[in-house]
A and B are shown apart, each in its own frame.
Chain A
């Protein structure tokens, strides 16, 4: 209860107070830290570096596709570029982005804990990520790999002369980072909740990360096994996947997608958790249908394991297997629909403000809507025979992965930036970048749906001339998108130097993370909080001092 009384905005942010950033300045104090918040910051920097590298690959792809002929890059180089783009973005950006940065930083704070259950393992996961990333970068710089991020056999085992195993090793190592993070989150959520923090008082961000962690620890070992089998096959010609030796190339696809389809949910579920927070916070209203959103995350995690075969509708699996996977794919669409409706309903009778994080959240709703609905096109097996392996697929998964994950990620970074750094970024530039990202993204990827239906296959360095007009649109959109993505780097970094002091609770929100100082102290709270209120309570029981906040906002308008 003490903690409820100590809620304040603006107070207690004196320079003299030690927070997690000022608690030691040496390099050693960072590299040997056990503080989940410092680890999150180091993840933020590392993941951003990989995002930047993946972005350079993306620009090369779009520049090459400006003209039908393979002129800027010859096809061998193009193949390595799109493989590099896929490997970096999937394994080193999308999978760790939200859990390892925002999840790491916020999950303990949101449940009222001092740290994660296993702080050293948390640090270990970062080192593993670095080692895996270094292997992968080494392989990509030495000459790259040209199999596509899917490593399909027998091309990857018998025919490719590129650095398949070095990249495979990088991905293999990196997987353990993911497993350890998932393990840590699950144990922490079970054992370290503050007094009064019941399961149904957890923020939905925590539920989403819990569901994600389940997928991480159950799915990731399978991809590790798959890569191991790939290595055995490549080095010893055992005959696991190569039909010339009695193996089955389709077996690889089953194993690969058994992980890589659930991996899609590792990428999107945390983003959904962020969106739940944003929709509630910027509507100043309790989330609509809390239990349904929470359990839909679990449902997605469970059903996500049963639909891998929808990546293989034309691979030569039996007609009946295809039908079963199509059916299950339709079932998994329902929990996502439930979330969409609940987020929308959360705004009903709310007090909706258009701060930068909310613009990203609204952008997410629009793009994920398109991504989800086109998922129905692709789950419908008769249609997928025509659409699979075309640009329709490329557009669909970018709508989900960029429109969903990246917008949720950027929205979350903006939303918690004041908490993480104690500074406000430029709201003006924030809004500009959110809109550039939304417009640029649609201009880049919407034309690709049309290209796909026309039949333009993916992974083509050169393409027939009739496809050029839409490709020009796409490349133009990518440049707008690129600017929208680079802007935040500039104004967020600038805010560290000249940003306004954020105060502990700039938006006057009830979440636990807003009840500690900005930036938080090393152990997150002065005293362990006791939770007596439901999640997302804006009413009196939350103890928020609205009158005082209003008075202060007139003096120094922070929002």
Chain B
């Protein structure tokens, strides 16, 4: 727990890649000490050894030394390349979203974090996650830039209006960790934060059960799709299908009018709802009206989740409401084992 009144030099390590970031940090401290000691010893040593012994002396003239110059250009270059490579590996682990993640949606808003789980639970300025499971956050914002930052997990990502950004982590230690907004967002920027609760799987299941919500994102999206927004009148199939077929398209390559292709990912679905004429699928007329200004970011997230579920997407089925316990239980065992 973080209720510390004294100050530790390092924050807790609570995610699967936190140790890698810390290892890189220690490597850089070692490099810094190495070069720092050399330069400081040189500066102080020379300053003392060659201090002025008589006024206006004319010491021997030394022009320079090519071998030395090459040496102290080459060594820092090689060392800096090791730092680059180390950083690149860690970065790849931090940002490359792995397979079989549990998906959670995050919407930032001046000045709060709104979180929705695949099973429908919503929370504000809090995030509950089970220990030992890979969690993917799909994030956006209703207004300005924000940044989802969990120091104990050693990761952060900006949330950007108009697009989805993602981050992932696997918590390794149950506990309560700080959540900050790290990108300046106006008046109450420093108040935009909260806590991440990492729980054992069974505690997490209990928490989920105790916070049962009305609708999962998929259900909410289906409701919007068929009833509230009327998307189904064109997209639901059958004789009257005028809009593109949505079943099975998620993650696939789609051919557009004009011959280009695009991967039908979250971003594409979102754009197609807000700016339908932008990238029209081949074989269809650009007749769909824009829904800009009519759907909120949270409703968009729900629509995306629903359209993903039409393709039997793995992470979307995890969120399927019918069997939350069934999908959770098999995961629980390896999670426990890792503790």
Q: Which residues of A come within 8 Å of B, CB atoms?
A: 70, 75-76, 79, 146-148, 152, 154-155, 158-160, 243-244, 246, 248-250, 283-286, 288-292, 313-316, 319, 322-323, 326-327, 330-331, 333-334, 337-338, 340-342, 344-345, 347-354, 362, 365-366, 369-370, 373-374, 376-377, 379-386, 388-390, 450, 453-455, 457-467, 469-470, 508, 537-539, 544, 546, 549-550, 553, 559
Query: Are B58's CB and A379's CB within 8 A?
Result: no
Query: Are A366's CB and B43's CB within 8 A?
Result: yes
Distance of B319 from chain A, by nearest CB (Å): 24
**B168 interfacial contact with A, CB 8 Å:** no
Query: Are A455's CB and B7's CB within 8 A?
Result: no
Query: Are B47's CB and A347's CB within 8 A?
Result: yes
A residues in contact with B165, CB < 8 Å:
316
Q: Which of the segments B86-94, B205-213, B247-255 contacts the partner chain?
A: B86-94
Query: Could you write out 16 A-B pairs with CB less than 8 Å apart?
Result: A154-B143, A154-B144, A285-B62, A338-B76, A347-B47, A351-B54, A382-B86, A382-B88, A384-B87, A388-B156, A389-B183, A453-B25, A454-B8, A454-B10, A454-B11, A462-B191
- Contacts A159-B110, A350-B50, A366-B43 given; 12 further ones with Cβ under 8 A? A70-B190, A249-B162, A283-B59, A284-B58, A290-B63, A326-B88, A337-B76, A377-B28, A450-B7, A454-B11, A463-B190, A549-B56
A residues in contact with B58, CB < 8 Å:
284, 351, 538-539, 546
Query: Are A457's CB and B182's CB within 8 A?
Result: yes
Q: How far is the CA of A314 from the CA of B154 in the complex (A)?
A: 12
Of A376, A465, A539, most buried by chain B (CB within 10 Å of CB) is: A376
Q: Which residues of B come within 8 Å of A, CB atoms?
A: 2, 4-11, 20-21, 24-25, 28, 31-32, 35-36, 39-40, 42-43, 46-47, 50-65, 68-69, 72-73, 76-77, 80-81, 83-84, 86-96, 110, 143-145, 147, 149, 151-152, 154-158, 160-163, 165, 178, 180-191, 275, 292
Q: Which of A285, A344, A380, A389 has a CB less than 8 Å from the CB of B149?
A: A389
Query: Are B69's CB and A383's CB within 8 A?
Result: no
Q: How far is the CA of A397 from the CA of B144 in the complex (A)?
A: 25
Q: How far is the CA of A287 from the CA of B275 in the complex (A)?
A: 63
A residues in contact with B180, CB < 8 Å:
455, 457
Query: Are B186's CB and A389's CB within 8 A?
Result: no
Q: How far is the CA of A386 from the CA of B180 in the complex (A)?
A: 12
Number of A-B contacts (CB under 8 A): 303
Query: Are B25's CB and A330's CB within 8 A?
Result: no
B residues in contact with A385, CB < 8 Å:
21, 91, 94-95, 154-156
Distance of A319 from chain B, by nearest CB (Å): 5
Query: Are A316's CB and B163's CB within 8 A?
Result: yes
Q: How far is the CA of A70 from the CA of B31 in the complex (A)?
A: 38
A residues in contact with B90, CB < 8 Å:
381-383
Given A353-B52, A369-B39, A454 contacting B83 (CB threshold 8 A): no
Given A345-B68, A347-B43, A347-B50, A383 contacting B36 (CB threshold 8 A): no
Query: Are B162's CB and A314's CB within 8 A?
Result: no
Query: Are B56's CB and A386's CB within 8 A?
Result: no
A residues in contact with B178, CB < 8 Å:
455, 464
A residues in contact with B189, CB < 8 Å:
75, 79, 459-461
Q: How far is the CA of A393 from the CA of B84 in the complex (A)?
A: 18
B residues in contact with A539, CB < 8 Å:
58, 61
Which residue of B has the minimal Cβ distance to A288? B64
Which residue of A has the minimal Cβ distance to B92? A319
6 A-B pairs with the lowest CB-CB distances in the bound complex, closest first? A243-B162, A455-B151, A382-B90, A380-B87, A460-B190, A347-B46
Query: Are A315's CB and B160's CB within 8 A?
Result: yes
Which residue of A has the minimal Cβ distance to B278? A246
Q: Which of B80, B157, B162 has a CB less than 8 Å from the CB of A376?
A: B80
Which residue of A has the minimal Cβ distance to B190? A460
Q: How far is the CA of A376 from the CA of B65 in the complex (A)?
A: 26
Distance of A310 from chain B, by nearest CB (Å): 11
Query: Are A365's CB and B43's CB within 8 A?
Result: yes
Given A338-B73, A348-B62, A539-B61, A457 contacting B149 (CB threshold 8 A): yes
Q: How far is the CA of A445 from the CA of B243 in the complex (A)?
A: 59
Distance of B48 from chain A, by nearest CB (Å): 8
